[in-house]
């Protein structure tokens, strides 16, 4: 009936697990070079395209650690990670806190163009803002 001692059952299960691994390796080895190349390209694309939360996790940072680096709260990080729309400066600050840099590239049929405003953003944000000129009412100037 397929019974046996607990030791025999454990050994049988171990053998089945080893067969599964061996079978996967065999299956992988039998893939055509085209299919294997397609799978590798898909894996590379998945690494290149990550949501913000996936990127943070890949950088081995918790939400709390990132929050500390950004001087914000952990719930604020969670909220940012759920957003689908944000300021480029916010995204740049997050990427910088993770140890990276952010480039903005527009892709056209003729070629790619790196947009400079994002790199200029870092220098203009730290520069002092000009004072606003107060408008005087017409009655006060007359």
- Asked if residue 138 belongs to a domain, the reply is no
Give the span between the Cα atoms of 93 and 102, in whole angstroms: 9
Number of separate helices (H) and strands (E) present in the chain: 8, 2
Same domain, 106 and 122: yes
* Better pLDDT: 70 or 5: 70
Same domain, 57 and 116: yes
In order of 33, 40, 134, the CA distances from 37 in angstroms are 6, 5, 64
Give the span between the Cα atoms of 36 and 29, in whole angstroms: 9
- Asked if residue 135 belongs to a domain, the reply is no
| Other beta carbons within 10 Å of 47 | 10
Structure tokens at 81: 């990670």
Taking the model in full, what pTM does it have?
A: 0.53
- Asked if residue 65 belongs to a domain, the reply is yes
Give the span between the Cα atoms of 140 and 65, in whole angstroms: 54
Give the span between the Cα atoms of 128 and 100, in whole angstroms: 25
In terms of average pLDDT, the best of 2-6, 10-14, 26-30, 122-126 is 26-30
- Asked if residue 92 belongs to a domain, the reply is yes
> What does the pLDDT look like over 35-73, one tens digit per residue?
888 887 877 776 667 889 999 998 999 999 999 999 999
pLDDT score, position 134: 46
């Amino acid at each position: 009936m397929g019974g046996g001692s607990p030791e025999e059952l454990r050994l049988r299960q171990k053998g089945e697990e080893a067969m599964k691994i061996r079978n996967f390796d065999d299956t992988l080895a039998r893939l055509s070079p085209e299919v294997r190349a397609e799978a590798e390209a898909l894996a590379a694309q998945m690494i290149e395209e990550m949501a913000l939360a996936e990127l943070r996790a890949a950088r081995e940072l918790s939400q709390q650690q990132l929050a500390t680096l950004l001087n914000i709260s952990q719930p604020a990080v969670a909220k940012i990670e759920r957003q689908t729309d944000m300021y480029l400066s916010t995204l740049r600050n997050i990427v910088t806190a993770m140890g990276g840099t952010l480039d903005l590239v527009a892709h056209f049929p003729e070629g790619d163009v790196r947009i400079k405003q994002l790199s200029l953003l870092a220098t203009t944000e730290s520069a002092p803002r000009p004072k606003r000129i107060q408008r005087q009412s017409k009655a006060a100037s007359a």
